[in-house]
């Protein structure tokens, strides 16, 4: 528990500096990493077991690798990466009251992150809703989001029901339905495919009782990701003049193509297989968490650009602090909900 209390103390300090001037001191994160690894090394020596130090180093490595991807994507700043790494070094395993998968592997920071998202999501959605009501520019995008939610929910619910109904007939466990959702976005005419699969499942089992709960699950899942995408792409964005753009994180990648300034919009698949690479002759990149630099502003001015679209971020550290406290003293919120059903 001492490591968890150190982590909470560290996040309290980081919360103060993050809210004060949007920075996380390197001295703090490096000290947390050192205390975590050194403390677990001492524990390993005293207990004649390599497990504590292996879990601490492993937790730090896993946390760093996942946070680095978010940094490369421009979602997190460098201080966030180091702080998340420190959590992995200090608290690789949970002290949670409710047992979960996280007690077997050094991935406790992921539980912290998941709980943080669950805690913050309602408040963020209230903020997004308020912005949508008050800003006319968002009304069109909000309508598109609602249409997408209804369209994707129906396809996902039908597909899930079809898989859920057919898998037991094939002698396979029903929970595999979750895995079989993966290819759905890549199937041409996926709505027809989902409808056909659901019809076959209904015809063979003559049981429609599962369709309602699966529809609610689909609605919750799709709504979460559509709302998150809408918020990050449209609400948490603003266009600022170049004179005020220095240090801001660009919300778009601009590059020169055939003499014209063009926005680079890679697909998720291309980002997955080729990484967060920017094209040649890039003027400013949305994947640069360090923000827009003076030489980039000068290059944009030469091309006649007067304003750029930048990201409006929500402080991460206070959210992580809440997630850490809940993870330490309560446990896995998803596990608690599932066990109560």
Residue 98 has pLDDT above 60, yes or no: no
pLDDT for 272: 47
Whether the CB-CB separation of 278 and 338 falls below 8 Å is answered with no
SS (H, E, C) 95-126: CCCCCCHHHCCCCHHHHHHHHHHHHHHHHHHH
Residue 254 has pLDDT above 70, yes or no: yes
- Compute the distance between CA of residue 297 and CA of residue 302 in angstroms, rounded to an integer: 9
- Compute the distance between CA of residue 2 and CA of residue 143 in angstroms, rounded to an integer: 49
Q: How many domains does the chain have?
A: 3
Q: Which of 55-64, 140-149, 297-306, 308-317 has the lowest mean pLDDT?
A: 308-317
Same domain as 82, residue 51: yes
* Residue 42, token pair as written in the block: 């001492």
Residues facing residue 17 across a β-bridge:
none
SS3 268: helix
| pLDDT averaged over every residue in the chain | 83
Q: Which of 17-21, 56-60, 247-251, 316-320 has the lowest mean pLDDT?
A: 247-251
Does some domain include residue 123? Answer: no
pTM of the model: 0.67
Does some domain include residue 118? Answer: no
Same domain as 69, residue 29: yes
Sort 169 into a burial class: Cβ within 10 Å, 0-12 / 13-18 / 19+.
exposed
Question: CA 179, 181, 186, 192 torsion: positive or negative?
Answer: positive
Same domain as 263, residue 180: no
| CATH number of 62's domain | 1.20.120.1220
Provide the pLDDT confidence category of residue 46 given band limits of 50, 70 and 90. Answer: very high
Same domain as 322, residue 307: no
* Residue 336, token pair as written in the block: 């608690």
The domain of 295 spans 238-311
Residue 216 has pLDDT above 70, yes or no: yes
Same domain as 244, residue 214: no
pLDDT > 90: percent of the chain: 20
Does some domain include residue 119? Answer: no
Same domain as 95, residue 7: yes
Closest CA to 115 of 338, 290, 302, 325: 325
Q: Which of 126-140, 232-246, 285-299 has the lowest mean pLDDT?
A: 285-299
Same domain as 279, residue 217: no
pLDDT for 38: 95
DSSP character at residue 1: -
Does some domain include residue 148? Answer: yes
Same domain as 288, residue 274: yes
Does some domain include residue 59? Answer: yes
Same domain as 184, residue 95: no
Same domain as 253, residue 267: yes
pLDDT for 54: 92
Same domain as 287, residue 333: no
Residue 6 has pLDDT above 90, yes or no: yes
- Compute the distance between CA of residue 328 and CA of residue 75 in angstroms, rounded to an integer: 25
Same domain as 168, residue 217: yes
Does some domain include residue 124? Answer: no
């Amino acid at each position: 528990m001492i490591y968890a209390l150190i982590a909470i103390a560290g996040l309290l300090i980081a919360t103060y500096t993050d809210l004060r001037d949007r920075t996380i001191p390197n001295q703090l994160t490096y000290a947390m990493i050192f205390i975590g690894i050194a403390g677990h090394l001492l524990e390993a020596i005293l207990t004649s077991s390599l497990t504590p130090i292996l879990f601490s180093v492993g937790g730090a490595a896993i946390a760093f690798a996942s946070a680095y991807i978010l940094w490369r994507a421009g979602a997190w700043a460098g201080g966030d990466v180091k702080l998340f790494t420190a959590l992995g070094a200090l608290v690789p395993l949970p002290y949670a009251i409710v047992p979960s998968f996280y007690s077997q592997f050094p991935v406790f920071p992921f539980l912290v992150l998941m709980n943080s998202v669950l805690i913050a999501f309602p408040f963020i959605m209230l903020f997004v809703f308020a912005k949508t009501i008050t800003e006319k520019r968002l009304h069109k995008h909000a309508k598109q989001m609602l249409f997408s939610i209804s369209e994707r929910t129906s396809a996902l619910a039908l597909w899930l029901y079809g898989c859920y109904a057919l898998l037991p007939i094939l002698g396979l466990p029903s929970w595999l339905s979750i895995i079989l959702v993966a290819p759905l976005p890549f199937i041409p005419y996926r709505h027809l495919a989902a409808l056909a699969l659901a019809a076959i499942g209904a015809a063979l089992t003559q049981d429609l009782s599962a369709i309602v709960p699966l529809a609610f699950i689909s609605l919750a899942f799709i709504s979460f990701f559509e709302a998150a995408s809408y918020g990050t792409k449209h609400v948490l964005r603003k266009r600022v003049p170049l004179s005020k753009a220095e240090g801001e994180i660009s919300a778009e990648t601009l590059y020169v193509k055939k003499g014209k300034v063009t926005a680079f919009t890679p697909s998720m698949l291309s980002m997955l297989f080729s990484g967060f690479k920017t094209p040649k002759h890039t003027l400013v990149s949305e994947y640069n968490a360090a923000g827009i630099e003076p030489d980039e502003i000068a290059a944009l001015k030469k091309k006649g650009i007067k304003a750029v679209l930048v990201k409006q971020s929500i402080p991460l550290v206070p959210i992580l602090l809440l997630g850490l406290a809940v993870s330490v003293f309560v446990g896995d919120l998803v596990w608690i909900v599932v066990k109560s059903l």
